Structure 1
């Protein structure tokens, strides 16, 4: 065979389908206690999630958290579980399907660091489809070591184990990207206009202060708290919201020394300060999940109403809304 024939017969990068890998933390396989325990064990033993020496982390997880926490978490999951499984998995799959429809010839797959399909399964799926360069979109608008950092580290570690190391292009945090801000404004704007809340609570996932400080030491690219504030300011500015009516809170607090004010404290305190009509959004989540549907939509609403609140509205995550699908396409360019 001549060199010319070899060149003509060899597959080119241009002919290989482009791949997109949607990356997130994952969910338990079921809402039963055993499945939740297995998921939490894998999640919490990641040093990016609990940043402490291995022995201390293992003792905390196995002796303190796992004996009791899975029972409580399983009940929370059962409150929001769907016929298709975990809302996060269902919503991410819907986004995957919408992206494949919007991008003909592109292979789109989902992978999770601690659930299924796993990251190795996602990489296998890409290889099986013959995908060339793969764009990886961690589904976290802001950078936090415990979320984007953790799942990215798992991805790179698994990719490095392969003989044929895949070509991966990781999309950076998009906390202030005009496409992201514009999509949320398009989705939430009409809802807020109709609801006319006294306060709009922007609830972001909380972090231990030690992790916030470690990130901020690396500059804006790793400054989670500052990125969250920029997201809130971008959305509020795009919608023309009164800054005095916009409040930032931190949810999912797990112990002392976390970012404040806590979302649950704010919701319980709003009625006493005259805010009895409250809208809540969670711009650190692009897919509705346990933290939005149960923590905010059930427990947060209950705390607000029990404190004397009147009307409560939880704005949906963008999920697979057409505006968000268009934004993702823009982020991938």
Structure 2
């Protein structure tokens, strides 16, 4: 039997301080995410960051939480169900790196079901050591403890697959139809500059993604790239999205469309950081409208692009 495992970052169980602290503790304890030595980092995490960031982040989650729960979780569940419908002869499941269902739980289920060929798709189109590599670590760690392993197909990056680029471009075109805008900003999740300096290809893949999409869109207005979601005092990829938006407003750009290609599902970073926080910053700087374009979410063309990845082997 063939299996497919979609993996995303994860989400708190609830928009509460305790649940957010538990999620952040798991996320920020990953050495792929924070490369600082544990003996130095863990006291800072437990003693300074979690006590203060937990309540602050919980308030943000409360503003985007839905009746169904975490947007990231419910969208990932829907993506999985749609992909399963397209691939009835495969066992399609999802997992989260830092929340339930865990990668270990999902792989246990695959083993119990007799899956002997497994495709793992990190739900990150662009590769980074902070995201995709962590998933690869978890999968290899799991099978290093097993007496049997399926034939594994682990995707590293799939930003350059035509089906994904076509789906993303069509999604943008559909949302921009009939809208007035004078600039398109491509905002990607940031990573520390030091990671790029060490060889992480993420930045180059973000630039290439933007170029490929713009070629398909044939944009008639200017566009630019920025990076969001900075954490901690270290230098991250620049320009920062909020700084870029303020600069655009100061330059007279009144209606900016913002695209988030590194996110395939709405989450805190798209709904709150872009939709609320950065929108307010743009307007405070003189901007009129920040048109937040939804990620691919459950777009049928995107699910078809995922199916193409699953059947490529």
Could you say which TM-score interval applies, normalised by the shorter chain?
Answer: over 0.9
Based on CA coordinates, which of the two structures has the bigger radius of gyration? 1
* Cα separation, 2, equivalents of 1:165 and 1:87: 33
Give the alignment partner of residue 99 of structure 2, picking from 111, 115, 125. 115
Give the alignment partner of residue 110 of structure 2, picking from 106, 120, 126. 126
Structure 2 segments unaligned to the other structure (5+ residues): none
* Cα separation, 1, equivalents of 2:65 and 2:135: 24
* Cα separation, 1, equivalents of 2:284 and 2:193: 30
TM-score with structure 2 length normalisation?
0.96
* Corresponding residue number in structure 1 for 2:246: 268
* Corresponding residue number in structure 1 for 2:83: 99
* Corresponding residue number in structure 2 for 1:9: none
Give the alignment partner of residue 3 of structure 2, picking from 19, 23, 35. 19
Contact 2:132 2:156 in 1 (8 A): no
* Cα separation, 1, equivalents of 2:289 and 2:97: 37
What do the CA deviations read for 1:194-219 (whole angstroms, capped 9, x no partner)? 2131111100011111111112xxxx
Runs of 4+ in 1 over 6 A off after TM superposition: none
**Range with bigger deviation, 41-50 or 266-275:** 266-275
Structure 1 segments unaligned to the other structure (5+ residues): 1-15, 216-221
Tell me whether 1:70 sits opposite 2:54 in the alignment.
Answer: yes
Paired residue secondary structure (2:169) = helix
> Which runs of structure 2 are paired with 1:82-231 in the superposition (5 Å)?
82-215=66-199, 222-231=200-209
* Corresponding residue number in structure 2 for 1:280: 258
Contact 1:184 1:318 in 2 (8 A): yes
* Corresponding residue number in structure 2 for 1:5: none
- CA drift at 1:153: 0.9
- CA drift at 1:167: 3.0
Tell me whether 1:331 sits opposite 2:309 in the alignment.
Answer: yes
What do the CA deviations read for 1:92-121 (whole angstroms, capped 9, x no partner)? 110000001111121110111110101111
Tell me whether 1:252 sits opposite 2:229 in the alignment.
Answer: yes
Paired residue secondary structure (2:91) = strand
Aligned pairs, how many?
310
TM-score with structure 1 length normalisation?
0.90
- CA drift at 1:159: 2.5
- CA drift at 1:233: 0.6
Q: CA RMSD in A?
A: 1.3
* Corresponding residue number in structure 2 for 1:322: 300
